[in-house]
Amino acid sequence: MVDTKVTLCGIELDNPVIPASGTFGYGHEFAELYDINILGTFSFKGTTQNPRFGNPTPRVAEVPGGMLNSVGLQNPGVRAVIEEELPRLERVFKKPVMANISGFSPEEYESVAAELSECEQIGWIEVNISCPNVHGGGIAFGTDPAQAAEVVRWVRRAAKKPLIIKLSPNVTDICEIAKRCEAEGADALSLINTLVGMQIDLKTNKPVLANMVGGYSGPGIFPVALRMVYQVYKSVSIPLIGMGGVSSAEDVLKMMAAGATAVQVGSANLINPYACRDIIADLPRVMEKYGVGSLRELTGAAHR
Amino acid sequence: MKQGFYTVIENKQIADSTYLIRLSGDNSETGRPGTFVNIRLEGFYLRRPLSVCDSSSDTLTLIYKVVGEGTEALAATPAGAMLDLLTGLGNGYDTTVLNNNSRPLLVGGGCGSPPLYLLAKTLIRAGVPVVIILGFNRQSEVFFEEEFRALGADVTITTADGSHGRRGFVTDAMGDIKYDYIFACGPEPMLRAVYERSGNIPGQFSFEERMACGFGVCMGCSCRTKYGPRRICRDGPVLAKEEIIW
């Protein structure tokens, strides 16, 4: 018997597989398809203070090895999440859920984190720092070490749950930002968020996305994500959640060997609604194939 | 929604850039008229959403226009090939709002016409008379005129260049018809013109948007309505006329 259990910031997960934010809604669409309690947990749709519609459409596009999205954080706002989504989720999901939050100012991050910290169902707060800072000329918090550190400082004050910072790969040195987040009190890091990309329609010679650019996700970014997890593992001592193009049980094992304690699956859920169920079912077979008895012992194996 | 594998029975060109593909498989959950399927194609990451033209418990007919690399690849898929489909997607048209005294008008534009076929079939079987206007640019794009007639529908074809049927747009033919409900599917400019031309008459309009998942989780295809944001793939593709914002 293989052991798929891992521990993420003091909370034990039956397995390391976590659907990534933005690919799993608030859970109920998938709960209609399979028992989502088989998951380690899942990270719910990025939530902001106020309801957001997001960017104009088209806001998804096909690209080699994956897709682009410029959804722009459509969500019903933190009050609706607490009053409507979480009670609905409680009926179908009995495990602690990961709350993914976003903000356009450090104050907004702090306030959303404070509200969600009061919810018993929430196990961790995962902070998306790839949003533009409206007071900082629109540059994404996560691409500037000082601004990233500032967000962590504000959220740290409010968050009464383990705090996970989700890092942007669109930076010169992800290790520097990882270290700053750790120094400000982050309990774990998720990486990577999407890479900024573009697609052009040759019939019009115009970008397909109304927003011109969007986040690239899918198997095409897996090698980049794997490399960054490997590098960051050497730079910090807090746990990492690896993500970026993960599509199979083999990918989960590779992410863990690179240094991840748990692994998120994103775009794969969109093309195969059963992707996470299938990956979890396949884990024991792949573990046996590669002689992995216990998944938690695999973390960082590539460094030993 | 259901995931399943279907075998291609036939895949043939029926008009300019327009193909009909017939598939066989367990088709017990394709749902009501106006729903769609999302097809996985070898070499492409995202599935391709196509509306259902006709369905039975074990067959599925789709009509699609070749508009890019994905639909080109679909057009090249031979009979006998297997395709991975998500079926029964979207809300579809609600026909329970009608009764035997209803006089619905169906309006389709180009490759927006196919879902109206199963709708017409469903209505006619329920004893509701169907009048339909199908608009195309030119004669070479016209398809399914006879198939709609064979169902027992009263069919008017319009072409923008007058090469077949009545010259003009679908809205030019709407003035001659008495109706108390409207169903429409087609390109957005046509939908808007039909919306305006039909005044206060209630109805249901089917929309199209680029989408990724097709089952309501990626938020790629959202649109604004009078009642808040709606996902075209899950809360739509059919919107009630009164909720539409242009």
Among B44, B210, B215, whose Cβ lies nearest the Cβ of A58? Answer: B210
| B136 inside domain | yes
pLDDT over 80 at A136, yes or no: no
Cα–Cα distances (Å) from B82 to B38, B48, B123, in that order, read 14, 15, 32
What pLDDT score does A137 carry? 66
Handedness of CA A269, A274, A277, A280 (dihedral sign): negative
Q: Does A61 touch chain B (CB under 8 A)?
A: yes
Evaluate whether A264 touches A222 at the Cβ level (below 8 Å). no
| B177 inside domain | yes
| A19 inside domain | yes
Among A60, A65, A274, whose Cβ lies nearest the Cβ of B218? Answer: A60
Question: Of the residues B66, B89, B112, which one is the last residue of a structural domain?
Answer: B89
pLDDT digits (tens, 9 = 90+) for B220-243: 999 999 999 999 999 999 999 999
Q: Does A59 touch chain B (CB under 8 A)?
A: yes
What pLDDT score does B59 carry? 95
Question: Of the residues B89, B124, B154, which one is the last residue of a structural domain?
Answer: B89
| B238 inside domain | no
Q: How far apart are CA B108 and CA B123, in angstroms?
A: 16
Q: What are phi and psi of A298, to 5 degrees?
A: -80, -25
| B245 inside domain | no
Amino acid at A155: V
- Residues B187, B111 share a domain: yes
Nearest Cα to B133, choosing from B67, B77, B186?
B186
Q: How many CB atoms lie within 10 A of CB B29?
A: 13
Look at B219 and A62 and tell me if their CB atoms are within 8 Å.
no
Q: What is the mean pLDDT of residues A272-285?
A: 98
How many distinct structural domains can be found in chain A? 1
Look at B213 and A57 and tell me if their CB atoms are within 8 Å.
no
Cβ-based contacts under 8 A for chains A and B: 85
Evaluate whether B30 touches B87 at the Cβ level (below 8 Å). yes
What pLDDT score does B245 carry? 96
Q: What are phi and psi of A55, to 5 degrees?
A: -85, 165
Q: What is the mean pLDDT of residues A51-68?
A: 96
| A15 inside domain | yes
Structure tokens at A57: 């459409």
| B232 inside domain | no
| A1 inside domain | no
Distance from CA of B121 to the nearest CA of A (A): 30
Contact residues for A139 (Cβ-Cβ < 8 A; gap 6+): A132, A133, A147
Among A60, A271, A272, whose Cβ lies nearest the Cβ of B220? Answer: A60
Look at B40 and A269 and tell me if their CB atoms are within 8 Å.
no
Q: Which domain holds residue B29?
A: 2-89
Q: Which domain holds residue A246?
A: 6-303
Structure tokens at A206: 């115009």
What pLDDT score does B31 carry? 73
- Residues B37, B8 share a domain: yes
- Taking the CA atoms of residue A66, residue A71, residue A72 and residue A75 in that order, the dihedral angle to the nearest 10 degrees is -120
How many distinct structural domains can be found in chain B? 2
pTM of the prediction?
Answer: 0.95
* Arithmetic mean of pLDDT over chain A: 96
Q: How far apart are CA B222 and CA B231, in angstroms?
A: 4
- Residues B145, B200 share a domain: yes
- Report ipTM for this prediction: 0.93
| Residue A105, helix vs strand vs coil | coil
Adjacency order of strands within the sheet including A97-101: A17-19, A260-265, A240-242, A188-191, A163-166, A122-128, A97-101
* Maximum C-alpha span of chain B: 50
pLDDT over 80 at A303, yes or no: yes
Distance from CA of B174 to the nearest CA of A (A): 30
Q: Residue B165 CA to chain centroid, in angstroms?
A: 21
Show residues of chain B in contact with A53, CB under 8 Å.
Answer: 222, 224, 229
Q: Which residue of B has its CA nearest to A70?
A: B220
What percentage of chain B reaches a pLDDT higher than 70? 100
Q: What is the mean pLDDT of residues A272-291?
A: 98
Among B3, B218, B222, whose Cβ lies nearest the Cβ of A270? Answer: B218
- Residues B150, B123 share a domain: yes
Q: How far apart are CA B125 and CA A33, in angstroms?
A: 32
| B244 inside domain | no
- Residues B120, B71 share a domain: no
- CATH number of the domain encompassing residue B125: 3.40.50.80
- Of the residues A131, A175, A181, A276, only one is catalytic, namely A131
| A274 inside domain | yes
Distance from CA of A58 to the nearest CA of B (A): 6
Evaluate whether A206 touches A152 at the Cβ level (below 8 Å). no
- CATH number of the domain encompassing residue A253: 3.20.20.70
| B79 inside domain | yes
Evaluate whether A98 touches A107 at the Cβ level (below 8 Å). no
Q: Given the structure tokens 């969500």, which residue do they identify? A: A75
Active site residue A181: no
| B38 inside domain | yes
Question: Of the residues B89, B121, B153, which one is the last residue of a structural domain?
Answer: B89
pLDDT digits (tens, 9 = 90+) for A67-114: 999 999 999 999 999 999 999 999 999 999 999 999 999 999 999 999
pLDDT over 80 at A134, yes or no: no
Q: Does B223 touch chain A (CB under 8 A)?
A: yes
Q: pLDDT band for position A146 (50/70/90)?
A: very high
